[in-house]
Structure 1
Amino acid sequence: MIIHKDLGDKPFARSRVLLLKIKSGKIVLGGNKNLKIYGRIDCTTGKRMKVENRVFFENETEAINSGYRPCAVCMRKEYLLWKNQR
């Protein structure tokens, strides 16, 4: 898990490092550390969260092992599977 604030001191530096990690495949999913929800990087609800709450994952297994659940908006099928297993 990568914490967004740890990618740099200033917003420009963070966004530059983030873009490089996304392009290289080291970041595939984003999440909210307070709500324990993960989803796609381009999720409309995920884009609105505060930088302080944002974390990133290399894959879905990493997110699940960290105790996160799928986003009901951008990962509807995965969310419904998770919900039915509870």
Structure 2
Amino acid sequence: MEKHIEVSDPVLKSKIRRKEINFAGNQKLKIYGLLSCSSGKRMKKENRIFFISENEALENNYRPCGHCMKTEYKQWKNNS
């Protein structure tokens, strides 16, 4: 788990290219989703956190985004 405000843009881009970052989350709302999610792209930088895997996000008690991860969100909601 890595906070956006603690990573420079060149390092962030490099980590995304190398698949060291695959998901982003909102630290305040405890929601994670795809890096391409339009909702996630509007998030404030200070609230954004990055995960290497979906498991890492789930282990940290984040829930799937209802916009970009509809199937995962429905499963999460049914199990809650």
Q: Aligned to 2:38, what secondary structure does the other structure show?
A: coil
1:36 maps to 30
What aligned pairs does 1:58-77 form with structure 2 within 5 A after superposition?
58-77=52-71
Aligned-partner SS, 1:45: helix
Give the TM-score taking structure 2 as reference length: 0.98
Q: 1:11 — aligned with what?
A: none
Match of 2:17 in 1: 23
The alignment-based identity, stated in percent, is: 49
CA distance in 2, matches of 1:75, 1:31: 12
Q: How many residues align?
A: 80
Structure 1: where are the runs of 5+ without partners? 8-13
> What is the alpha-carbon root mean square deviation over aligned residues?
0.5
Q: Distance in 1 between matches of 2:25 and 2:35?
A: 9
In the TM superposition, structure 1's runs of 4+ consecutive aligned residues that sit over 4 Å from their partners are none
Pair member with larger Rg = 1
